[in-house]
Amino acid sequence: MRYLAVALLLVPLTGAAWTDPFPVKPCNGVDIQDVDMDTVQGYFEKGLLTAKQLTQCYIDRINLVNPHFRTVIQINPDALEIAHDLDQERIQNGPRGPLHGIPILTKDNIATADKVPTSAGSLALINKTVPRDAHVAALLRLSGAVLLGHANLAEFADYIAYDDYSEGYSDRGGQTRNCFNATQQTSGSSSGSAQSVVGNLCMAAIGTETDGSILLPAMHAGIIGIKPTVGRVSRAGVVPGSLSQDTVGPHARTFRDAAYILDAISGVDWRDNATFNAVVSGTAVRARNFSEAVTDRSALKGAKFGIPWDVLWSSSAGSVTHREAFLEVFRQLEDAGAILYNNTNIPRIRELQYPYGWGDAIDTPEELWARTYLHVDLYNGIDGYLRNLKESQIRSFQELLEWEDEHNSSTGALGGGEIWVSGADNFVRANATHGIMNETYYLAKLWRHELSRTGIDTALTHIAADGTLTLLDGLLVPMAGGGIFDSPSSGLPAAAHYPAVTLPIGQDPWQLPFGLGIWGTAFDEDKLIRYGSAIDDLIRWRGKPQFYNYETTEIPFDPRWPGFFDIPPSDA
């Protein structure tokens, strides 16, 4: 019960005068705050705005906000020229599609063969030239998007360090901060992508996920995040975390915008053979028009959702501290005609998931922890990526680690002072595995993969007490901060390679947004977009960040700041 007392003591200041220091200015006289892609296309069509003007407005805003929030690593110096060319093309040939002229930021671990170095936030890679655009970046260009620049991230997508570490920090970009409250955390690792979207520093952004890196930062930014099935989107040209689990997906302010991006970036790529799975399963054909799946609350009539109470809702800090808000959402869903199936439990979840947040179940033997195989994957993935880069002395994982060692914190790569520099403790752990894929590796990986898949699929098949079997449309999970770590709502889809989405539903007393997640089975993105957009239409939470505490520089963000509880709540 101690956490409740903490919660009550930390009642935030109310009524204190605060004015948003960074209001979104009109662009060429047009309101662009939280604007969606269809609306912008309408402006383009009517001649009220050009892609070049819109790009300039975002660049101006990045220059204003970024010194405080560091959500962007680098602006593409050619962005205005690209936008101008796309404007000319529109005049001559009309738009290529819904992304024509739309400024999008890509996370700094997605290769772009332009003037912006791709370095996963590390200073070690800033002089390296990538051989070509990542498949995702090439497809975005093809769809007419303006690649505005690179978003900040937790260095090496959270995999350089676990201990000597601050979430959302990179040596190259500094500390990403939360636009709602700069002294609250952003979660990671696609922190800059998510915060740039909600801060109106771009129209949408691309993130990557190995375990939670799209979903969790979207939840703390109050936006839509889609984590696609592994194989839906090519990872070629993306700095790997784990080639078995990595995926690439959109951060956006609406499901429609996110779906437009997924339409543009999904598909088969011969450089990533995981994308062949979509063809083998037949789903590459079934759902290539995700924007068609976007709908409204009327789709909730008769929709069937499972609630995996044990342990995702019963014991997670998120569900306890935000329980009233979540129960209200359940009530609204039922009023809208949805059927909720409580206790659609996931077999063996207590062996797979730490109940109070992100990470491994502590009672499970260490040989079966996710990090047992993830460290091996990290070594091999980064080693392979570096070997494909040209012109550099850093050509292997070991050389990268040597560089990190030489430029360790003490040398203060960014000049010391208030800037805190990331350690490399996790790289040291990965190095110790030598990337060897032995029996231990395969056991840890296959054990988790199989149990996670079976767990989600079993829960999606609800069996009533009388034996009646019902196939559910999705599993609802909490997406909230509050425990030792964020909600335990990313680990199973990550290990299963299954898709998941998150949508915002509210804000805590410290301004931090929280959301509702939906899980599905492999290649279920169309269904998740359908029901996600339906629930989003029902709840319609549209909080605007007020940039509280923008002048503070307190870092790092781990351990947690007030508003977080460092003891697990008892199972409720």
Ligand X SMILES: *[C@@H]1O[C@H](CO)[C@@H](O)[C@H](O)[C@H]1NC(C)=O
Residue 557 φ then ψ, to 5°: -100, 5
Residue number, 39 or 343, with CB nearest to ligand X? 343
Query: Which tokens sit at 256?
Result: 């429609």
107 belongs to the catalytic site: yes
CB-side neighbour CA atoms (13 Å) of 38:
9
User: 571: which DSSP letter?
Assistant: P
Sole binder of ligand X in the list 56, 281, 440, 454 (CB under 6 A): 440
Query: Which tokens sit at 493?
Result: 């889809």
**Nearest 5°: CA angle at 75, between 26 and 553?**
85
Q: How far is the CB of 57 from ligand X (least distance, A)?
A: 27
CB atoms within 10 A of CB 120: 28
390 belongs to the catalytic site: no
Give the integer Cα–Cα distance in Å for 425 and 396.
Answer: 17
Q: How far is the CB of 439 from ligand X (least distance, A)?
A: 4
Query: Which tokens sit at 570?
Result: 């008892």
3-class secondary structure, 529: helix
Residue 295 binds ligand X (CB under 6 A): no
Calculate the alpha carbon distances from 489 to 354, 495, 567, 569 in Å: 10, 12, 19, 17
Residue 409 binds ligand X (CB under 6 A): yes
Give the integer Cα–Cα distance in Å for 387 and 366.
Answer: 31
User: 309: which DSSP letter?
Assistant: I
Give the integer Cα–Cα distance in Å for 370 and 448.
Answer: 7
**Residue numbers 504-523 binding ligand X by CB under 6 A:** 510-511
Stretch that binds ligand X, among 29-37, 43-51, 132-140, 180-188 (CB under 6 A): 180-188
Residue number, 82 or 333, with CB nearest to ligand X? 333
**Residue numbers 47-106 binding ligand X by CB under 6 A:** none
Sole binder of ligand X in the list 3, 548, 550, 565 (CB under 6 A): 548
CA of residue 243 relative to chain centroid, distance: 17
Give the integer Cα–Cα distance in Å for 400 and 402.
Answer: 5
Residue number, 81 or 561, with CB nearest to ligand X? 561
Instruction: Summarize the chain as % helix, strand, coil (round to 5).
Output: 40, 15, 45
Of 107, 128, 227, 445, catalytic: 107
Of 122, 187, 196, 213, catalytic: 213
Residue 439 binds ligand X (CB under 6 A): yes
Q: How far is the CB of 60 from ligand X (least distance, A)?
A: 26
Q: How far is the CB of 17 from ligand X (least distance, A)?
A: 11
**Residue numbers 274-293 binding ligand X by CB under 6 A:** 289, 291-292
Question: What one-letter code names the amino acid at 481?
Answer: G
Residue number, 84 or 96, with CB nearest to ligand X? 96
Residue 39 binds ligand X (CB under 6 A): no
Q: How far is the CB of 215 from ligand X (least distance, A)?
A: 22
Sole binder of ligand X in the list 343, 388, 461, 570 (CB under 6 A): 343
Q: Which residues pair with 514 in a beta bridge?
A: 506
Residue number, 29 or 285, with CB nearest to ligand X? 285
Residue 423 binds ligand X (CB under 6 A): yes
189 belongs to the catalytic site: yes
Nearest to 73 by CA among 176, 166, 205, 147: 176
Q: How far is the CB of 29 from ligand X (least distance, A)?
A: 29
What DSSP string runs through 194-223?
HHHHHTTSSSEEEEEESSSTTHHHHHHHTS
Residue 438 binds ligand X (CB under 6 A): yes
Residue number, 33 or 270, with CB nearest to ligand X? 270
Of 119, 166, 189, 533, catalytic: 189
Q: Which residues bind ligand X (CB under 6 A)?
A: 12, 123-124, 126-127, 181, 183-184, 273, 289, 291-292, 309, 330, 342-343, 398, 401, 404-405, 408-409, 423-424, 428, 431, 433, 436, 438-440, 510-511, 548-549, 561-563
What residues are labeled active site? 107, 189, 213
